[in-house]
A and B are shown apart, each in its own frame.
Chain A
Amino acid sequence: MDNPSQPAIEARDLVKRFEDTTALAGVDLRVGPGRVHGMVGPNGAGKTTLLTMLMGLVRPDAGSIRVFGRTREENGLEGVAGFVESPRFYPYLSGRRNLALLADLDGGDAAARIDESLELAGLTDHAGARVGGYSVGMRQRLGIAAALLRDPRLLILDEPASGLDPAGTRDMRALIARLAGEGVTILLSSHDMDEVEDLCDDITIMRAGQVVFDGSMEELRDKAPDPAFRLSTSDDEKALTVAGPGMTVTPDDGGLLVHAQRDQLDAYVIALGRADVAVRRLDLEASALKALFFRLTESGAEDRATGPEVGT
């Protein structure tokens, strides 16, 4: 019997090298039960390696993984489902046939959940068609359906909205929110900070095989810098001199990059008008969280901003 307060995932000091490339350099990850945990990082950060490791597809060179307190050898994948990178299926079988195959591999009552899983994933109407004819979005939905067959307590999703149209993305987010509401622990890897911000309770940010932030979304927001705006004016040189205290304005890529809070930005735009500088264009370059993400993942290692351990 699992302890209900036991972490869904507890990974310690994971190391993985592929020839001369270090994919993971001592990664710790703790995902609390019933939490929606986001995982973000630039390409090559080690997210996919970590996810494949959690799903038992890649062996760590060092470190340990426990899922609901069990190692892989102790049936650690029981209650775990999901997909890493884009879900793949046999193209010459129908969607339903693929699910029937996977349900048989799972055993138990998984086969009885095929219709329900197809419906939840919004794929009932296409279940009889061969997967070879599916769009990327439909395969993504089938990946969700395949995961739901296992009636998971931990769902590991890698870019689940990838390839989906806006309506599909909305439905996917709603499904994730619904599953989270039912107590399913979700580990969500995404490039979309807005998606992570909307859905996740906790977040791990990775860079170059290391965790550079691990904590709750609130802790991340507290650390977030001012949002960034891209500004184009009739006289950028003069605009630089008008900048008020507490904000930074720097020349960037033929325009100006402004880091400021909203009220500071309002005052700056008014000041520009008074100084006879016309604002030709003003766009949000990066939200506060995106700005922090860029800072954490693009700056030097000394900026490491690991938050307190989740659950402590």
Chain B
Amino acid sequence: MTAVAERTEPRQAARTGAWVVYRWELIKLTRQVKAQVVVGLCVLAPFLFVAALNAQSNVPQDTLFGRWVHDSGFSIPLVVLGFAGQWALPAVTSVVAGDIFACEDRYGTWKTILTRSCGRSQIFTGKTFAAITFSVVTTVLLALSSLAAGVLLVGRQPLIGLSGTLLTPGHSAVLVLTSWATVLLPVLGFTGLGLLLSVASRSSAVGVGAPVVIGLVMQLASLVNAPSAVRMLLLTTPFGAWHGLFTVRPFYGPLVQGAIVSLVYFVLCVGGAYALLRRRDITGS
């Protein structure tokens, strides 16, 4: 009994340490203007977008569901999702993920926190979960806000699916929320990329900016008719995997592929970031 207690104690202490780091990272985020601005934009931007659309007769026809923005409020979160997947979600996630480790270099606080009773693995775990939390919360906020903006400012009219069939408001709402849920995994992939760049570059500018640039390059690669095997491996491809949900006979293959690709990106990036942080000598002020 005692031996078991002795074995489990360090593991429990490690979990407690990671939880403390996680809690403090969230407290620090609530104090940072950039995080407040991003959360505010996620809530307000969809309403401003709909207000701008309502002020004109033109519609974003080139975007999926763009031609229905005046006819069904459920098209709004899907149009927003289409735009967000191109650059906004990588940008939103990397604001925190790309900075959460690099900011310790910027403030010179690695020496302050690594000389306390928390180990590097606990600090890494707490910070990683804080970045994931921020990415998930902002994505959920953007989803709910764009759905609310569509329903409140346009209405709960039925949505026309990609096969031309009419979807009831209830069914449309479920499909909209499911579509947004499917982008959580590529969002996690970009979060992992931001974390890796944050640790490797020790620069907030690189950590925040590079994932957006990488996302845009991947978009470009998919637009110039890259081979399908290459397109399948791009982290931006899963952002469009939800299209298959809106056909009469939904197809889930892209969703499964996208989930696997996103998880591989996440695991490789986070694993790489952890290995780098574990090995790093903390020098300089």
Contacts and interface: CB of A to CB of B under 8 A. Distances in A.
A82 B116 CA distance: 10
B137 interface: no
Given A85-B285, A86-B285, A77 B111 contact: no
A124 interface: no
B116 A57 contact: no
B115 A56 contact: yes
A294 interface: no
Interface string A56-83: 1111000000000000000001101111
Contacts of A93: 28, 31
B117 A88 contact: no
A9 interface: no
Interface in A76-105: 77-78, 80-93, 101-102, 104-105
Interface in B251-285: 281-285
Contacts of A146: 112
B108 interface: yes
Contact of B28 (A82, A88, A90): A90
Nearest to A60: B281
Contact of A52 (B13, B28, B111, B112): B111
Interface in A137-190: 146, 150
B117 A77 contact: yes
Interface in B96-113: 107-113
Contacts of A245: none
B83 interface: no
Chain A CB within 10 A, most for which of B24, B28, B108: B24
Interface residues of A, number: 33
Nearest to B19: A104
Contacts of B61: none
A93 B282 CA distance: 23
B118 A88 contact: no
A235 interface: no
A80 B108 CA distance: 20
A55 interface: yes
Contacts of B13: 107
A93 B113 CA distance: 15
Nearest to A142: B112
Nearest to A93: B31
A106 interface: yes
B17 interface: yes
Contact of B114 (A56, A82, A91): A56
Contact of A85 (B28, B31, B111): B111
Interface of B: 13, 16-17, 20-21, 23-24, 27-28, 31-32, 107-118, 281-285
Interface of A: 18, 49, 52, 55-59, 77-78, 80-93, 101-102, 104-108, 146, 150
12 contacts: A52-B283, A56-B115, A57-B110, A57-B115, A81-B115, A87-B112, A88-B108, A90-B107, A92-B32, A102-B113, A106-B118, A107-B17
Q: Which 8 residue pairs of A and B lie closest in terms of their CB atoms, listed nearest first? A: A88-B108, A57-B282, A105-B116, A58-B281, A85-B285, A105-B118, A106-B117, A104-B20
